[in-house]
Amino acid sequence: MARQSISLTQPNDEWLKNQVHNKEYSSKSELVNDLIRQARNQQVQIDWIKNKLEKAEKSGFTSDTKAQILKQSKDLLNG
């Protein structure tokens, strides 16, 4: 695993320490990695929505209903 040195603001460092202290995570590293995984997953979702919107804008319309788009979005969110 790659090692990194990062600087944190006091409130962020305290929050991380509290999460570890409350046994939510075993270490700050585990928590930071989890936050990064969550951000990466969110980016996948954002990219999917962005691509759908761009496709719709280029075609002038989409044949998908609101319900279909909502279902696809929820399916993507739930993995």
Q: What is the pLDDT of residue 17?
A: 96
CB atoms within 10 A of CB 19: 17
Q: Among all chains, which residue has been given the structure tokens 């962005």?
A: 50
CA 43 to chain centre: 6
* Cα dist from 23 to 20, 27, 48, whole Å: 5, 9, 34
Given a contact cutoff of 8 angstroms between Cβ atoms, the answer to whether 45 and 37 are in contact is no
Q: Where are the domains of the chain?
A: 11-77
Q: From CA 1, how far away is CA 65, in angstroms rounded?
A: 45
- Each residue's pLDDT expressed in tens, for the chain with a length of 79 residues: 888 899 999 999 999 999 999 999 999 999 999 999 999 999 999 999 899 888 887 887 778 888 898 898 888 888 7
Q: What is the pLDDT of residue 78?
A: 84
Q: Counting beta carbons within 10 angstroms of the beta carbon of residue 56, is it exposed (0 to 12), middle (13 to 18) or buried (19 or more)?
A: middle
Q: What is the pTM of this model?
A: 0.64
Q: What is the pLDDT of residue 34?
A: 97
Q: What is the pLDDT of residue 16?
A: 96
